[in-house]
Amino acid sequence: MFFASPKINRISKHLESTLAAICQDQWAYYLTVIGSAASIQYRDHLQAPVDKEAIFNTYAIFREKEHFSWRVPMDDMNEIYYYKVLNAQKQYEFYSELLSKARFINEELQKKEPDCELIINTARDIERSKMTVPSVFSGEPIDINVGMSLGGNIFVDFFAGLGGLIYAPIMGFVGILCITPYCLGYSGYCGSPTFFLDTANYLCNSAFQAMRSVVFPVAMMYSAYTTNSYNPFTKGEVKRSVEGIISLVEDLQKQAELCELTV
């Protein structure tokens, strides 16, 4: 079946992994601002049950990998706590829903006879998805959508890469400080060998982000490989991936129809 195409599978898996990373980041940040375990709204993005009480009662720096936030802890006195929590919760819900749809596309692609119309419609649902979240400063409604996920855009990646080159060594130092708590069983992730490997990977990815943003032909080739688009200038990775899936499935669908007509 033509849906065994490595290109479509590669792009759809890249979409899922990209959304999984965004969702994990939103989830971990959400956990840092929530006020109680009972208030945690878990959307099953990990596809496994979680112990909300255990997570909430563990210091953020000592949490397991899937609940660990890599964000720099920053507090703004102008932020309103209620809206800050609601904003984080809504963004987590938005990306967890997108992730579930991306997983559905991959599951459908693995079937012997995948439903191409269903795949296209699901991809378009992702593309059109939006959610209204409150401003953390005033509560004013803000619409977020797939187009706002700008990771993979060379301009955003350049600054993200430079920031990562500075931040990764800092996190490495934090990991060194957490080696003892990890060995004593207090830390589930920070200070572990896995943490240092992930920090090294983060450093390398940051260097690659910055490099391909400067040498933009490399960014174009990488974008074509991962999303089927040579345009890393005006769109983010998620939007390009979705558009790539829709385009490829539609093309293959047309080819299949032509084959049926010529038989």
Residues 6+ apart with CB under 8 A from 120: 246, 249, 250, 253
Looking up tokens 């953020």 gives 60
Please say if the pLDDT value at position 263 is more than 80.
no
- pTM, full prediction: 0.93
Instruction: Report the pLDDT value the prediction gives residue 68, as an integer from 0 to 100.
Output: 98
Q: What is the rounded CA–CA span in Å between residue 52 and residue 56? A: 6
Report domain extents, the chain.
1-147, 150-235
Q: What is the rounded CA–CA span in Å between residue 183 and residue 199? A: 18
Looking up tokens 């795949």 gives 119
Instruction: Report the pLDDT value the prediction gives residue 151, as an integer from 0 to 100.
Output: 81
Report the pLDDT averaged over residues 32-55: 96
Portion of the chain with pLDDT greater than 70, in percent? 95
Portion of the chain with pLDDT greater than 90, in percent? 80
